[in-house]
Amino acid sequence: MKRILITGAAGFLGSHLCDRFIKEGYYVIGMDNLITGDLKNTEHLFKHENFEFAHHDVSKFVFVPGQLDYILHFASPASPIDYLKIPIQTLKVGSLGTHNLLGLAKAKKACMLIASTSEVYGDPKVHPQTENYWGNVNPVGPRGVYDEAKRFQEAITMAYHTFHGLDTKIVRIFNTYGPRMRLNDGRVLPAFIGQALRGEDLTIFGDGSQTRSFCYVDDLVEGIYRLLLSDYHQPVNIGNPSEITISQFAEEIIRLIGINQKVIYKDLPVDDPKQRQPDITRAREILGWEPKVSREEGLKITYDYFRNLSKEELYKSKHRFE
C-alpha cells in the first residue's frame, strides 16, 4: 500500500485531498497545526483504518516513521485575512516548512508535490497567465508575505530537483471553491454567500471590473492527482479559465440565492490583482486535464453546504477576526 503525507490536511483543499487518496487506496497521514485548519474537515476519516492524523507544525522538524512514497505540501494560510494576521507563520511554512519536507522526501526517496498559487504572478501584466510568465509581485507590500513565500517554495523545490534529483511537482492553484471553505476566509465567494445568508449587502472592493476564474474543488483535486502521478517537473497551472468580473459574479450570487440585497462598493485593497485567468494549455497537453464542473453547478453545491451551517457558525464567520 502506498503511503502519502498530506500537510494542511485539516484545511479546505487538504481535507479533500485526504478523501481522494483514501478513495484511491492509499494510506494517508494527515498533518496540520490547526492554525487555520479545522478538525471538522477530517473527522469523518478518523475511524478509517488507512488514515492517521498528526497535530504538528511543519515549520519545525518533521519525522514520519516507516515507508513514505509521496508528500503533498498544502500547509499554508491561503486567504488575505489569514496571512495579513499571521505574516511570519505564512513565511515560515513556505520556507522552513518546505525545506523540512524536502529533506524528508529526500530521506524517504519520496515524490513531493508543492501547492503553489496564481499569486506568484502578482498583479499580472500578461493575460491570461501562462507558466512562463515571471510575474509582477511587490515583495514588500501587504500580500508579499504570501506571494514571496510561494515563490521561494517553488525555487527551493526546483533546487532539490536539479541538485539532488528529487522527484518534485509544482501546481499553481487558481481560485478554487467548494464545501469546507471558511465563510470568513476573506475571499470573494464565501464572503458574498456569507453576507447573503446573513441578510447583509454584498461588498465589492474596487469598481467590480477586476476578474477572477473559479474552479470547483473536485476538478482541482483531479488535476493535482494527475500531476502527482505524471513525470512532469515544471510548474503547471490548475484552474478554470472561465473568467468573470466581480460585479458579474455578485449578480450570479444574487440570482442563485434569490435575494434583493444591494451591492456596495469599498476601496480596493493594496496590490489586489486586477485580472486572474489561467492558461491551462500545459495541463491539457501533459495531463489530459480540464475542468468539468460548471460554475452554476458548483455554486449550487457550495451554497447548499453553507446554507446548512448553523446560525452560530454563520455569526462567528463574520466576527472571528474582528
pLDDT in tens, the chain (322 residues): 999 999 999 999 999 999 999 999 999 999 999 999 999 999 999 999 999 999 999 999 999 999 999 999 999 998 888 988 999 999 999 999 999 999 999 999 999 999 999 999 999 999 999 999 999 999 999 899 999 999 999 999 999 999 999 999 999 999 999 999 998 888 899 999 988 888 888 999 899 999 999 999 999 999 999 999 999 999 999 999 999 999 999 999 888 888 777 889 888 877 778 889 999 999 999 999 999 999 999 999 999 999 888 666 766 655 443 3
Same domain, 24 and 61: yes
Question: What is the CB neighbour count within 10 angstroms for residue 268?
Answer: 14
Same domain, 66 and 138: yes
Q: Are strands 243-245 and 211-213 parallel, antiparallel or unpaired?
A: antiparallel
- pLDDT, position 322: 35
Residue 202 domain boundaries: 183-212+242-275+294-319
CA-to-CA distance for 121 and 129, rounded, in angstroms? 8
| CATH code (residue 8) | 3.40.50.720
Kindly list the distances between the CA atom of residue 306 and the CA atoms of 195, 197, 256, 257, in Å, as whole numbers in the listed order: 11, 8, 13, 12
- The structure's pTM equals 0.94
Same domain, 46 and 132: yes
From 250, 246, 248, select the one nearest 259 (Cα to Cα): 250
Same domain, 65 and 191: no
Catalytic residues: 146
